[in-house]
Structure 1
Amino acid sequence: MKKTGLIFVAILLSFLIIGCGQDASSTVDKEIVIKLSHVSSPGSARDLGAHKVKEIVEAETEGRVKVDVYPSSQLGGQRDQVEGVQSGNIEMVVVPTAYLGGTQPLITLLDTPFFLPPDLDDLKELYSSDAIRALLDTTEEVGIKTLSIWHTGYMQYSANRPILKPDDLKGLKVRVMASPILFEQAKTFGADGITMDFSETYSALQSRAIDGQENPIDTIFDMKFHEVQSDISLTTHGTLDQLFLVNQKWFESLDADIQAAIIKGVEEGQKVTVDSTYEAIERAKGIILSEGVNIHEVTPEQRTVFEEDAKPIIEFARNHFGEQGKKLFNDIEAEIKRITGK
């Protein structure tokens, strides 16, 4: 009887060991599924960049990681996505800098008009600098890691009249993203800054609830804003740049090789996004002009007037976020002067 009992215990233990081994193996082999969210339409520059991330991460990890891309605000608006990545409900998002205003306001320093270099090569050099990395690293204070900044074009104004000098904005209701600096920009130029979800902007322009908005030309085209606006003015007053954000705790829990695959994917996605943006801008310009919308060049003399009137906004940005913000701003400004020689 005693011998029979020992045999039974041995058999039971062997089953437990096999079961535990199977559990451990299934945990190791379990596919990791990553949600990557953005608000742009399928086929847009941002979407093409996101799909490049998907392609590289899945290839580099040989099927251990699957990336599901959610375009067109499927997982919520821009603010929802920032909250989602902060909470860990969404692993990765691509959102404009302005939408960090309620989470890490320092990031909105990048929204300062007539501050960043208007030359793309200069801007790329700036974005690879230690000064910009120091700013991007501040998102880790709120549990979000910024892997990269994706440039998606320079801001241009659209309205039902040309915007060739600051006075042309006076009295207009202009949709801006929810950034304190962008509200200050509108106020300084005499406009009324209105914030609303990106998806609501077309109907607001159509109904004349707002008079104008600011975006790169390819975005204006993708969102069909040119259908309800008669004029686009090439003010190049700011940038629409995206932050590639991940939940910090989640990212740091990943194996080093998976982290490396994601970083590689994000770097390649950034290149695809920039190249696709400028191809799309040239394509959009031609179509918009053919549909009877006016595109106005801003002369160097007109730009100088804008830059002069924007000086109070630059000082607002420099001083709005305390000593930490001032140091970050001054370091970026010094880097811009080094790069541009101005």
Structure 2
Amino acid sequence: MNNRVSGVFKKSAALAMLSFGLFPYQAFSAEFEARIGHLESAQQPRHQALLKVASLVSERTSGAVDLTFFPSSQLGTQRQMTEGTQLGVIQGTVSPAAFLGGFNKVVSVLDIPYLYPTNRELSTKIRSSEFGQAILESFEGTGTKAIALWPNGRKNFTSNEPLENAKDFNDQRFRVMNSKVLIAQFNALGSSALPLPFGELYTSLQTGVVDGEENPLDTIFRMKFHEVQKYLVISEHGAMEDIVLFNSMWWNSLPKKYQEAITTAFNEVIPELERNKDSSVENALAEIKKSDISIKTLNEAERTELRDIMYPKAKAAYLSFAGEKGEELLTLYEKAYQSYK
């Protein structure tokens, strides 16, 4: 992505900040203030965990650092928030990794299906390994500072066509985020993949533009996709990982003790975030079961079969654009995966 943003964007971003009351700062402002945007609603586990982070940071810095989080795309699209963080128009964003591939190619490694084991303890170890640290370090030189990886659930398949086994994916059409890795994932199954804006997905499923899609269960329920889909496969094939990004100049202006307080808070709340996400997913599944959709839960053997089909082609697609740095990152991943599986 171009490191420069047009004057039009700068002006619109500044106006957006004014409209949300971000300027001028309050008279009794903290020593360091950060406005941080993200996509999800205020009711979702991510935002609730972010509020906990803000509280911990304020407490541990005696009010010197004030983190204010703006949910539901209040500060722009994810691209605008990423660019705004890079330029310092805003101080940070919490972004799904899948939206950052154009900003940092190597982070698209997280789009590869079944990258993390379904066992949470093992996934946590991989996230905390040299592999996870290398992902954060890959943002150096972009004008941003990546300080944490946040788990945000796992994707599952839905379709209006049967999905009893891997062969049933053949010739079906699935909506994907605009990612070469995700397109390769479906191509490996004999499906075609169509990048579509998220806001168009419900209608596209309803009218047959695509047969199916992939999302976490709570997203499927919240967006009512189960109302226009006949089949749900609980596959947990794709990890939804968030990257916590700060503007590098703002971050470097902080005393080291404040940097440590922020980083520690983000990592400390992960177990609570996962528990709340589990509860959200459990409640979503209970509601989805009240509909007419047919539900199949894959066993470990079926998940392994899908991984064996999708992983090699998705990996090859990733390496085709991520180059040497991507290969180094995958080597770290496979070392960690073999150590912990």
TM-based fold match above 0.5: yes
Instruction: From the superposition, tell whether residues 201 and 81 of structure 1 become closer, same or farther in structure 2 (CA, over 3 Å).
Output: farther
Distance (Å, rounded) in 2 between the aligned partners of 1:172 and 1:61: 53
Structure 1 equivalent of residue 80 of structure 2: 80
Q: Is the 8 A contact 2:105 2:321 kept in 1?
A: no
Question: Is 1:237 aligned to residue 237 of structure 2?
Answer: yes
Using the TM superposition, give the Cα deviation of residue 31 of structure 1 relative to its aligned residue in structure 2, in angstroms.
Answer: 4.8
In structure 2, what residue type is equivalent to 1:129?
Answer: S
In structure 1, what residue type is equivalent to 2:163?
Answer: I
| Structure 1 residue runs without a partner (length 5+) | 1-25
Using the TM superposition, give the Cα deviation of residue 293 of structure 1 relative to its aligned residue in structure 2, in angstroms.
Answer: 2.5
Using the TM superposition, give the Cα deviation of residue 319 of structure 1 relative to its aligned residue in structure 2, in angstroms.
Answer: 5.1
Instruction: From the superposition, tell whether residues 337 and 30 of structure 1 become closer, same or farther in structure 2 (CA, over 3 Å).
Output: closer
Instruction: From the superposition, tell whether residues 250 and 226 of structure 1 become closer, same or farther in structure 2 (CA, over 3 Å).
Output: same
Structure 2 equivalent of residue 15 of structure 1: none
Deviations 1:61-95 (A, max 9, x none): 33333332211122222222222222222212111
Structure 2 equivalent of residue 152 of structure 1: 152
Q: SS at 2:208's partner residue?
A: coil
Question: Is 1:327 aligned to residue 314 of structure 2?
Answer: no
Larger mean CA deviation between 252-261 and 141-150 belongs to 252-261
Structure 2 equivalent of residue 337 of structure 1: 338
Of Structure 1 and Structure 2, the greater helix share is in: 1
Higher Cα Rg, which structure: 1
Aligned pairs (5 A) from 1:1-342 = 31-310=31-310, 311-318=312-319, 320-340=321-341
Q: SS at 1:140's partner residue?
A: coil
Distance (Å, rounded) in 2 between the aligned partners of 1:142 and 1:151: 23
Using the TM superposition, give the Cα deviation of residue 50 of structure 1 relative to its aligned residue in structure 2, in angstroms.
Answer: 1.4
Distance (Å, rounded) in 1 between the aligned partners of 2:193 and 2:75: 26
Using the TM superposition, give the Cα deviation of residue 313 of structure 1 relative to its aligned residue in structure 2, in angstroms.
Answer: 2.5
Distance (Å, rounded) in 2 between the aligned partners of 1:314 and 1:135: 16
Q: TM-score, normalised by structure 2?
A: 0.84
Instruction: From the superposition, tell whether residues 92 and 142 of structure 1 become closer, same or farther in structure 2 (CA, over 3 Å).
Output: same
Using the TM superposition, give the Cα deviation of residue 162 of structure 1 relative to its aligned residue in structure 2, in angstroms.
Answer: 3.7
Q: Is the 8 A contact 1:151 1:242 kept in 2?
A: yes
Using the TM superposition, give the Cα deviation of residue 179 of structure 1 relative to its aligned residue in structure 2, in angstroms.
Answer: 2.0
Deviations 1:108-160 (A, max 9, x none): 11111133212111000111101221122101131221111111112111122
Instruction: From the superposition, tell whether residues 321 and 339 of structure 1 become closer, same or farther in structure 2 (CA, over 3 Å).
Output: same
Using the TM superposition, give the Cα deviation of residue 307 of structure 1 relative to its aligned residue in structure 2, in angstroms.
Answer: 2.6
Distance (Å, rounded) in 2 between the aligned partners of 1:190 and 1:260: 47
Q: Is the 8 A contact 1:205 1:228 kept in 2?
A: yes
Larger mean CA deviation between 254-263 and 234-243 belongs to 254-263
Distance (Å, rounded) in 1 between the aligned partners of 2:69 and 2:30: 20
Q: SS at 2:110's partner residue?
A: helix
Q: Is the 8 A contact 1:155 1:216 kept in 2?
A: yes
Larger mean CA deviation between 303-312 and 241-250 belongs to 303-312
Using the TM superposition, give the Cα deviation of residue 29 of structure 1 relative to its aligned residue in structure 2, in angstroms.
Answer: 6.7
Q: TM-score, normalised by structure 1?
A: 0.84
In structure 2, what residue type is equivalent to 1:293?
Answer: I
Larger mean CA deviation between 129-138 and 223-232 belongs to 223-232
Q: Is the 8 A contact 1:318 1:330 kept in 2?
A: no
Alignment length (residue pairs):
315
Instruction: From the superposition, tell whether residues 272 and 88 of structure 1 become closer, same or farther in structure 2 (CA, over 3 Å).
Output: farther
Instruction: From the superposition, tell whether residues 125 and 209 of structure 1 become closer, same or farther in structure 2 (CA, over 3 Å).
Output: same
In structure 1, what residue type is equivalent to 2:71?
Answer: P
Q: Is the 8 A contact 1:52 1:272 kept in 2?
A: no
Instruction: From the superposition, tell whether residues 30 and 234 of structure 1 become closer, same or farther in structure 2 (CA, over 3 Å).
Output: closer
| Structure 2 residue runs without a partner (length 5+) | 1-25
